[in-house]
Amino acid sequence: MAITATTISSDLILQVVNDAGTGTVARKYADVKVAATDADVYDVANGTNGLSKLQTRVFSGVQRTNTLDIEDV
């Protein structure tokens, strides 16, 4: 039995510090290209001209969520 996993979608989740200073707030950006490398996703989130620079809150971290289609071939 051979199992294959195919990535069908990917999301970028930008973590920023809550205004009250307690915990973080997640900002989700859907439909990231599945072919993008993790380094590319990080650069979009926190690079020189990344999304974190557009936020009024302090950048805390970045997550990437991949959705896979797993099937028996």
Could you state, in order of their start, the residue ranges of all structural domains in the chain? 9-66
For position 54, what pLDDT does the model report? 93
For position 68, what pLDDT does the model report? 96
8 A C-beta contact, residue 64 and residue 47: no
For position 73, what pLDDT does the model report? 87
For position 21, what pLDDT does the model report? 75
pLDDT tops 90 at residue 1:
no
Average predicted confidence (pLDDT) for the chain: 94
Q: What is the mean pLDDT of residues 30-55?
A: 95
For position 20, what pLDDT does the model report? 81
Separation CA 62–CA 46 (nearest Å): 8
What pTM was computed for the model? Answer: 0.83
Say how many CA atoms lie within 13 Å of 12 toward its Cβ. 23
